[in-house]
Amino acid sequence: MTSLLSIVIFLPLAGAVLLLLIGNRDGARDGLIRQITLAVSLLTFAGTLALWAGFDPAGPAYQFVERHAWIPAFGIEYSLGIDGISLLLIVLTGFLTPVALLSSWGSVKKKVKEFSLFMLLLETAMIGVFAAVDLFLFYIFWDFMLIPMYFLIGVWGYDRRIYAAIKFLLFTMAGSVLMLIAIIGLAMVHYQATGSYSFDLERLLALSLAPSTQFWFFLAFALAFAIKVPVFPFHTWLPDAHVEAPTAGSVILAGVLLKMGTYGLVRFAFPLFPDAAVQMAPVLAVLAIVGIVYGALVAMVQPDMKKLVAYSSVSHLGFVVLGICAMNVQGLQGSVYQMLAHGVSTGGLFLLVGMLSDRRHTRLISEFGGLKNVMPQLVAAFFVTTLASIGLPGLNGFVGEWLTLLGAYRYDWRWGAAAATGVILSAVYMLWMFQRVNYGPVTNPRNETLPDLTTREWFAIGPIVAMAVLMGVLPNLFLAPMAPAVDRLVERMRPSIERRAEAMEGRALDVVAGPVR
Amino acid sequence: MLLLIPLFPLVGFLVNAFVGRRLPKTVSGWTACLAMFASLVAAAAAAWQIFSAPVEARLVEQTVYTWIASGDFEIPLTLRLDPLGTVMALVVTGIGFLIHVYSLAYMHEETEREYARYFSYMNLFAFFMLVLVLGANFLVMFVGWEGVGLCSYLLIGFWFKKQSANDAGKKAFVVNRVGDFAFIVGMMLLFREFGTLDFREVALHAATLSPEVSFGLISLTTLLFFIGATGKSAQIPLYVWLPDAMEGPTPVSALIHAATMVTAGVYMIGRNAELFSLAPDTLQIVAVVGVVTALFAGTIGLVQNDIKRVLAYSTVSQLGFMFLAMGVGAFSAGIFHLYTHAFFKALMFLGSGAVIHALHGEQDMRRMGGLRRALPITYWTFLAGALAIVGFPLLSGFFSKDEILFRTFYGGHELLWTIGALTSLLTAIYMFRLVYMTFHGEPRYEVAGAHGHDAHGHAHGAHLHDAPPSMAIPLVLLAVGSILAGYVGVPHALGGHNRIETFLEPSFHPAAHARVLTLGPGEGGEFTVAHGTETAADEAGHAAASHTAADAHAAEEAKTRLELTLMSVSVLIALAGIGIATFFFLRRPDRAAAMAASMPGLHRLLLNKYYVDEAYDAAIVRPVQRLSEDVLWKGVDVRVVDGAVNGAGSLVSGTASLLRLLQTGSVRAYAAWLFVGVLALVGYYLVW
């Protein structure tokens, strides 16, 4: 099927159109709407798996390519294609959307139709972002993502949802404006060089840009993506957005949306402007390391579970950015792996916190305690997810963390050593929260009769736990498809790194694929 | 099939984890024991292969699959058995099995669910410990390393309703993570330098290098690994978690916090003996840290009143001895002590468990006394363990501890020997203090009636029950082990052959014994022997041995004399220690109290464990918390960054209408708009 990618992208949109056709006065057909939405998202997930099945790692760089002229006057094309990296992120999106829908099954009661609509629209936009290879198209999907998320937070969120939604919108808009300017500028550079506009990634990659031009473009792109990641110090929108977002919003936000920024760095900012990237990587790496430590320390003292998990995301995504800055195979593979792993485990944590919050309408750690006595199954799932987040070997978090650390270490040993402190801190904040919530006697009488996991909840958290184990035990399943894409990126960066190393004589950079001696 | 050894406990774990709570206790308990027994049989069969193979072919390997592959970094899940691994695997499965059986009775008061949970954790622990021991490279070892830490966390906090147990579990995990940080950095450094994390390849590579004369990369790498070991094996400065770990059920203390997991650091150094040998600076540090920890923990052990805490400090102290051995390059002596210690320390923990069981949870020795008549099996087996640990002649601890002390002295480390000997004295004193306070003298305990159900208030042993069979049999077997285990290592000076040293030696110098014996995946137990060539190192060894025979003979005699002398000194020290304990804690307990009262400052210092926990809390824990909460979160995040953002935000919300749009509730209208836009875009594309 030549248009499978388009089908996967627009399947959720089609589902949304279908929902529009269903009258739902006073929520009479909420059940039906939920079922349709879930069915559509499951179908989409099946579609993403079909993409994986049809993807040939040894094949051409971009597969499932679709290219149609769209606005020829400006060389804008409807141009899609995926490599191993985007493939895996699309599968992650397909995997997490049904999970998120299941999580909101019981908790979202108002405007179910609109909620389902926004979720499906969001999925289309997310998959589109990962599949677009035309920068203009990418930008359309990118900005289109904001709107459903804005409403998900603003309408179905908790008490301070308006503040959080606007903060989220302001931060990301600021970034995307910069990016838009840079994208248009880049098309104009292409015009100057070749006499025609183009937003096509391959063609833009072929441009040779002067270092100073690269610098400004990189800055604009990197800033837009850094806000989205978020990289310290642009992270303060994240805790608010997470805390106020409904569970489904948090799962998608943490699971997929945060990866947009790091994906953008890998896909656009680094390969398009390699010289500038090499020059700026140390700055970005230091910010990433600060984020790792800072996020962990601040997470430690949070009284609110959701905020704690949100700050832990700042810390975990620091590893992702650091791996990218290492620009070698382990760093980049680890980085993409960490994106997937974080999506699964942090998505899972938000799911679990959401379940507790559904039951007690509070997320304050101090309100809980001794839950293991009353809901052993939920606590067991919570425990595995916590360990996954801590990065225990044998679970998903370890592989990404270890590879990014190794990659960073090989680029500059100080990066690896400094970032490794995150290993200690993650255990401190996660276990401390886990212990206060689940161990000890039941101190609050309101917790005495909480029901354990329902079947529906098992269907949401079960796949997460299974995936955490699978990704920890058989990481090559996920490392292999992305390897060629990563190798290509490393090759792309290599000349710039070598030039830089020559320019900074005396500083040994371990860029060769192999041990030093 | 090496894989079977860890696989059985893993299956046992899965069974009990998923269906255990619905099974009767007999079934879930015996499932776990059976899994351990099967693992023991598999380990024994593999060990038999090793024993019966010629020395140069004592290596079995099995690669299960490639775990992580990323560019030039490739980690196969490979299991490997060599003499060192054999000793470890037998200790883990053998003693592990006995402790599982013991637990059947010890944990019997738990509900079905808790009983199954306990045994599932125990099996999981055995699985990870065996992965740690059999793993052929650092990263697979690290899986086990972290896994046993996890199980330790779970089992320390097994009684999760108890706050102190949870805190102890978390402390253990976090302190271990500090060590893991160093371990991880060490692995990265090693990979960068050697391009591999395989123990054997590292060793073969290392054998081609010359020892570092000054502190260099290998010193740094090995030091990082040693820091990792101080976490897992409870040495200064990371020992603080082990005494607290006694919150866990007593069989857990015996298995994890005495016999197996805490020795992982010692094993790790033994596994990388070749690498550590290149870094004399690191070895020096290992030896000093080891012996200082031994002495330090011994002094604290003198005054503790909780029976398990005394044993815990004793464990820290004995681990110090093992590190001393590693540090002075007496690798086989260190592993020998690890092996004998596993018997007698597991025995004493289980014995203390029997006492605690009989006294319904009482752990304070001040409320024990005179138990030897009521608990004869416990008493006699415990006595065997105590005599073994103090180095009573011809018991297991005598051979292994003397080997360490002799090697230390012989290697020219007289000062370290002196501290070690002094520690031996302390060991004898606090061990027999424990024996006397628990089993001798007047009974000071209240019988079960004190709990309120029945009216018996008198302190007589009549109501106490000695260990039931499933507890007594492991005690007796371990006592036999504590007495006899040392006979695999009778020194030459006493006319023995020190067989364990000969057996272990190839593991410490793999380069000199380079033969490859591989078990291909899917070959189902068949393995091929590929003979390597005699290495240069081996020839060098022969050359070095070609001194004149007369010189060698004279040196040998002097060595034997020295060894016998040191041995006599050790025996005298042990007897002196027992004598001191007998005087102060059996004959004249009043004198002990008077002595403590005459030095109140020192006594309080020891009783409070030198205030190390308090110091860590004040110097690290609290400042970090304050920094995070007041400076970073409420300062930087809320005031600095958000302050700026909110300023901008209020500016915008003054003019923008987004806020009002939301508040009018016209979400549906807006959504419809959104749709129009999307459809327009899509339509545009379609029509074009």
Give the pLDDT band (50/70/90) at residue B540. very low
Radius of gyration of chain A (CA): 22
Q: Which of A410, A439, A441 sits opposite B192 (nearest CB)?
A: A410
Which residue in A236, A302, A432 is closest to B170 by CB distance?
A: A432
- Collect all residues with Cβ–Cβ distance below 8 Å to B154 and sequence separation of at least 6: B121, B169
Enter the tokens of residue B132. 């740690």
Q: Are B391 and B570 in contact (CB under 8 A)?
A: yes
Whether residue A508 is contained in a domain is answered as yes
Cross-chain Cβ contact B637/A298 below 8 Å? yes
- Contact list, B113 vs chain A (CB under 8 Å): 376
- What are the structure tokens assigned to B185, written together? 């950095």
Angle, vertex CA A118, rays to CA A113 and CA A120, nearest 5? 95
The C-alpha of B186 sits at a distance from chain A's nearest C-alpha, in angstroms, of 9
Say whether B73 and A330 touch across the interface (CB within 8 A): yes
Q: What is the pLDDT of residue B265?
A: 95
Residues of A with CB below 8 A from B143's CB?
Answer: 393-394
CA nearest neighbour of A152 among A246, A33, A240: A246
Q: Which token pair is B316?
A: 């820290």
Question: pLDDT tens digits for A289-321?
Answer: 999 999 999 999 999 999 999 999 999 999 999
Read out DSSP for B96-162?
Answer: HHHHHHHHHHHTTTS-HHHHHHHHHHHHHHHHHHHHHHHBSBHHHHHHHHHHHHHHHHHHHTSSTT-
Determine the pLDDT at residue B346: 95
Burial letters B578-605, b for 16+ CB under 10 A, else e: bebbbebbbeebeebeeebeeeeeeeee
CB contact under 8 A, A236 and B632: no
Question: Tokens representing B343?
Answer: 């018997």
Asked if the Cβ–Cβ distance from A406 to B66 is below 8 Å, we say no
- Which chain A residues contact residue B148 at CB under 8 A? none
Q: Pick the range with the lowest mean pLDDT from A158-172, A243-257, B151-165, B491-505.
A: A158-172
Amino acid at position B423, single letter: T
Residue A429 structural domain: 278-512
What's the token pair of residue B527?
């393995």
Question: Percent of chain B, pLDDT > 70?
Answer: 86
In this prediction, residue A119 carries a pLDDT of 94
| Residue A1 confidence class, pLDDT cut points 50, 70, 90 | low
B662 and A165 within 8 Å at the Cβ level: the answer is yes
CB contact under 8 A, A513 and B72: yes
- A444 vs chain B: nearest CA distance in angstroms? 14
Q: What is the pLDDT of residues B408-424, one digit of tens each?
A: 999 989 999 999 999 99
A375 phi/psi in degrees, rounded to 5: -135, 70
Instruction: With beta carbons under 8 A apart, name residues in chain B contacting A239.
Output: 637
Residue A211 half-sphere exposure toward CB, CA atoms < 13 A: 8
Q: Cα distance from A453 to chain B (closest Cα, Å)?
A: 15
Q: Do B624 and A480 touch (CB under 8 A)?
A: no
Distance from CA of B299 to the nearest CA of A (A): 30
Helix, strand, coil fractions of chain B, as percent rounded to 5: 75, 5, 20
Tell me, yes or no, whether A384 lies in a domain.
yes
- Residues 6 or more apart whose CB falls under 8 angstroms from that of B309 comprise B243, B246
Mean pLDDT value across residues B540-563: 73
Amino acid identity of residue B169, one-letter, is G
Task: Specify whether the CB–CB gap between A164 and A153 falls below 8 A.
Answer: yes
Q: Cβ(B116)–Cβ(B21) under 8 Å?
A: yes
d(CA A7, CA A14): 9
Residue B243 confidence class, pLDDT cut points 50, 70, 90 = very high
Contacts of A233 in chain B (CB under 8 A): 636, 641
Q: Nearest CB to A417: which of B150, B174, B185?
A: B185
Helices (H), A132-245: 135-156, 161-194, 201-206, 211-228, 237-244
CB contacts < 8 A, A to B, total 196
Number of domains in chain A: 1
Q: In whole angstroms, what is the distance from residue B598 CA to residue A435 CA? A: 43
Pairing type for strands A63-71 and A76-82 reads antiparallel
A318 found inside a domain = yes
Cβ neighbours for B120, distance < 8 A, ≥ 6 positions apart: B12, B13, B15, B16, B17, B20, B32
- What is the per-residue DSSP string for A45-101? HHHHHHHHHH--TTS-SSEEEEEEEEEGGGTEEEEEEE-HHHHHHHHHHHHHHHHHH
CA B162 to chain centre: 24
Q: What is the phi/psi pair of residue B66, to 5°?
A: -85, 120
Identity of the residue in B169, B191, B633 whose CB atom sits nearest the CB atom of A298: B633
- Prior bond of B237 cis (ω within 30°): yes
Query: Shortest Cα distance from B170 to chain A (angstroms)?
Result: 7
DSSP category for residue B60: E
On whether any CB of chain A is under 8 Å from the CB of B73, the answer is yes
B670 at the A interface (CB within 8 A)? yes
Q: Is residue A264 part of a domain?
A: no
Which of A64-78, A86-100, A202-216, A221-235 has maximum average pLDDT?
A86-100
- When scoring B19, B68, B171 by the number of chain A Cβ atoms within 10 A, the one with the most, hence best to mutate, is B68
Whether A337 is covered by a domain: the verdict is: yes
What predicted TM-score, i.e. pTM, was given to this entire model? 0.90
Instruction: Please say whether the beta carbons of B139 and B197 come within 8 A.
Output: yes
Whether residues B628 and A301 touch (CB distance < 8 A) is answered with yes
For residue B139, which residues of chain A lie inside 8 Å, CB to CB? 393, 402
Over pLDDT 90: what percentage of chain B?
62
For tokens 């999580």, name the residue: A103
Q: Note the ipTM here.
A: 0.92
Q: Could you give the CA distance from residue B468 to residue A122 in angstroms, rounded to a whole number?
A: 65
pLDDT single digits (tens) B302-339: 999 999 999 999 999 999 999 999 999 999 999 999 99
Q: Cα(B253)–Cα(B353) distance, rounded to whole angstroms?
A: 9
| CA separation for the pair B33, A449 (Å, rounded) | 36
Within-domain flag for A382 = yes
| Residue B5 Cα, gap to closest chain A Cα (Å) | 18
Cα separation, B655 vs B652, whole angstroms: 6
Residue A60 lies in a domain: no
Inter-chain contact B184–A393, Cβ cutoff 8 Å? no
Q: How far is B622 from chain A (nearest CA, A)?
A: 12
Q: How far apart are CA B234 and CA A171, in angstroms?
A: 48
Residue A83 included in any domain: no
Q: Which of B647 and A91 is assigned the larger pLDDT? A: A91
The pLDDT-based confidence of A516 (bands split at 50, 70, 90) is very low
Task: Establish if B178 touches chain A: CB-CB under 8 angstroms.
Answer: yes
Q: Which residue of B has its CA nearest to A405?
A: B188
pLDDT at A219: 92
- Distance from the A236 Cα atom to the nearest Cα atom in chain B, whole angstroms: 7
C-alpha B168/C-alpha B166 separation (Å) is: 5
pLDDT tens digits, A243-290: 889 999 999 999 999 999 999 999 999 999 999 999 999 999 999 999
Q: Residue B453: exposed, middle, or buried by beta-carbon count in 10 A (0-12, 13-18, 19+)?
A: exposed
What single-letter DSSP state applies at residue B463?
G
Amino acid at A133: V
How close does chain B come to A190, measured CA to CA in Å?
A: 23
Question: pLDDT category, A121, cuts 50, 70, 90?
Answer: very high
Q: How many other CB atoms are there within 10 angstroms of residue A214's CB atom?
A: 22
Please check whether residue B628 touches A, CB under 8 A. Answer: yes
Average pLDDT over residues B397-402: 93
Sole residue written with tokens 């030897």: B372
Interval B287-307: pLDDT, tens = 999 999 999 999 999 999 999
Interface of B with A in 413-472 (CB under 8 A): none
d(CA A421, CA B185): 10
Could you read off the pLDDT of A178-201 as tens digits, one per residue?
889 899 999 999 998 888 888 998
Contacts of B671 in chain A (CB under 8 A): 114, 117-118, 151
Radius of gyration of chain B (CA): 29
- Give the Cα separation of B595 and B631 in Å (integer): 49
B72 touches chain A (CB under 8 A): yes
Q: Find the closest chain B residue to A234 by CA distance.
A: B641
Question: Under an 8 A CB cutoff, do A170 and B180 touch?
Answer: no
What separation in angstroms does the CA of B588 have from each of B74, B302, B436, B441, B579?
65, 16, 11, 11, 12
A164 CB-near residues (< 8 Å, 6+ apart): A153, A154, A157, A237, A240, A241, A243, A244, A245
Query: Which tokens go with A173?
Result: 């808009």
Rounded Cα gap, residues A67 and A45, in angstroms: 23
Task: Please answer whether residues B32 and B20 qualify as being in contact, where contact means their C-beta atoms are separated by less than 8 angstroms.
Answer: no
Exposed, middle or buried, B338 (CB in 10 Å: 0-12/13-18/19+)? buried
Question: If pLDDT is split at 50, 70 and 90, which confidence band does B205 have?
Answer: confident
Residues of chain A with pLDDT > 70: what percent? 97
How many residues in total does chain A contain? 517
Residue B530 pLDDT > 50: no
Q: What is the mean pLDDT of residues B138-160?
A: 94
| Candidate from B70, B169, B675 with C-beta closest to A330 | B70
Task: Output the average pLDDT for chain B.
Answer: 86
Residues of A in contact with B166 (CB under 8 A): 435, 439-440
Count of alpha carbons within 13 angstroms of residue B283, beta-carbon side: 24
Q: Classify residue B687 as exposed, middle or buried by CB count within 10 Å of its CB (0-12, 13-18, 19+).
A: exposed
Average pLDDT score over residue span B638-657: 65
Q: Which residues of B touch A416 (CB under 8 A)?
A: 185, 188
Name every chain B residue with its beta carbon within 8 A of the beta carbon of A114: 667-668, 671
Mean pLDDT, residues B355-369 taken together: 90
